[in-house]
Amino acid sequence: MPKSLPPSQLIPRLLAGDRLALSRAISRVEDGGDNARELLAGVFPHTGRGHLIGITGAPGTGKSTLVTGLVQAYRAAGLTVAVLAVDPTSPFTGGALLGDRVRMSKLSGDAGVFVRSMATRGSLGGLAGATADALLLLDAAGYERILIETVGVGQAEVEIAGTAHTTVVVEAPGLGDEVQAIKAGVLEIADIFVVNKADRPGVERTVGALELMLHMADGTPRQLFHHGQLLEVAAAPLEDESDGWQVQVFKTVAASGGGIPEVMAEIERHRLWLAENGRLAARERLRMARSVEQIVQAELLRRLRAALPADSLAELVEEVAARSLDPYAAAEQILDRMG
């Protein structure tokens, strides 16, 4: 397949399940080139079928092993699975690629599995935008379950995982004195908690801490993260989400496969629960509102850069650094010049 295949030829191949076409398409949305927009418009009507499963947690919890186990379980159940590993890591550490290699060796040769990592920051809408676009492509390619694995416990990672239909938060015993979840607002996004490495000492303490937190938060509406909140009002609120779904804590030993079938069953139970009473539709509206918002923001930034020559910006910044102009006044000048 030539590298420069136009979207009109790439799209039908991708929709037919051609893995190379899918891989090329993801690279193009990562690069944010001219074809990206056309590609996404072409596949978009074919999306909305795959179930998106976000998996997040602190480093050291064994997320990757858990994800590999879930892929195997889903394959055994006859479903096709894609994995998108999102790692906003400095490029030279190469963490994402290493993880992929380990996984690929376990999963390679199975045409029903597709694994890809995203480690870019350079794309138009940032990492979150590139991830959303890649998810659309995986969805259009027909994968029935799409796992989004994010590394880290920060807000950005939690937000990306929080865009999924079902979000699994992974903990492990002995990662420090504090329960990791408390530190990143993951309570707000977790549909399922997993305590992995459950054969280690301290597992009951970690499970207990999570259950206590869940108990404390009981009745607090579950929220999808909403950073910019531009379109918040536009997406129907998820007001009925607080009743009906009880977040539970599962124990796994992913390295030996222990507990994985139960987690898979819980994800499926959540999927069916979402499908009832229009909850999935409400969540889709919020997901799409976020997506549109990210694109709008990225485009505004692009226009701003295009409208203002670099040297007049440099002059303004110089004045601010010299304390002769305050940052808000400088921002006003920039916005004025933009029109």
58-77 binders of its own copies (CB under 8 A): 58-61
Q: Are 174 and 200 in contact (CB under 8 A)?
A: yes
> In angstroms, what is the minimal distance from the CB of 78 to its own copies?
26
> What's the length of the chain?
339
**Listed ranges 17-25, 141-149, 252-260, 330-338: which one lies at the site for its own copies (CB under 8 A):** 330-338
- 316 is a contact residue toward its own copies (CB under 8 A): yes
The residue from 1, 76, 234, 275 that contacts its own copies (CB under 8 A) is 234
Whether 218 contacts 194, CB under 8 Å: no
Smallest gap from Cβ 311 to its own copies, in A, equals: 8
Q: Which of residues 164-183 bind its own copies (CB under 8 A)?
A: 172, 174-178, 180, 182-183
Q: Which of 7, 50, 88, 162 binds its own copies (CB under 8 A)?
A: 88
**Helix axes of 95-107 and 63-76: crossing angle, nearest 10 degrees:** 30
Partnered with residue 2 across adjacent β-strands are: none
Give residues with Cβ within 8 angstroms of 191, minimum separation 6. 166, 167, 168, 222, 245, 247, 270
291 near its own copies, judged by CB under 8 A = yes
Number of chain residues interacting with its own copies (CB under 8 A): 86
Q: From 14-22, 163-171, 239-247, 321-329, give the range in contact with its own copies by CB under 8 A.
A: 321-329
Q: Tell which positions 15-54 bind its own copies, by CB under 8 A.
A: 37, 40-41, 44-45, 47-48
Separation between Cα atoms, residue 186 and residue 140, nearest integer Å:
29
| Full strand arrangement of the beta sheet holding 166-171 | 113-118, 81-86, 145-151, 51-57, 166-171, 192-195, 248-251
* Region binding its own copies by CB under 8 A among candidate stretches 17-25, 107-115, 234-242, 256-264: 234-242
| Torsion of the alpha carbons at 236, 237, 239 and 244, rounded to the nearest 10 | 70
Phi and psi at residue 83, to the nearest 5°: -120, 125
Stretch that binds its own copies, among 14-22, 102-110, 223-231, 258-266 (CB under 8 A): 223-231
313 touches its own copies by CB under 8 A: yes
Q: Does 255 bind its own copies (CB under 8 A)?
A: no
Is 334 among the residues that bind its own copies (CB under 8 A)?
A: yes
Contact pick of 66, 79, 156, 164 for its own copies (by CB under 8 A): 156
Query: Side chain identity at 237, as an amino acid letter?
Result: P
- Which CB atom, from 269 or from 285, has the smaller least distance to its own copies? 285
Q: Which is nearer to its own copies, 204 or 318 (CB)?
A: 318
Dist CA 309 CA 313 (whole Å): 7
Q: Does 321 bind its own copies (CB under 8 A)?
A: yes
Among 17, 23, 95, 242, binds its own copies (CB under 8 A): 95
User: What is the number of other CB atoms lying within 10 angstroms of the CB of residue 13?
Assistant: 18
- β-bridge mates for residue 52, sequence order: 146
Q: Confirm or reject binding of residue 90 to its own copies (CB under 8 A).
A: yes
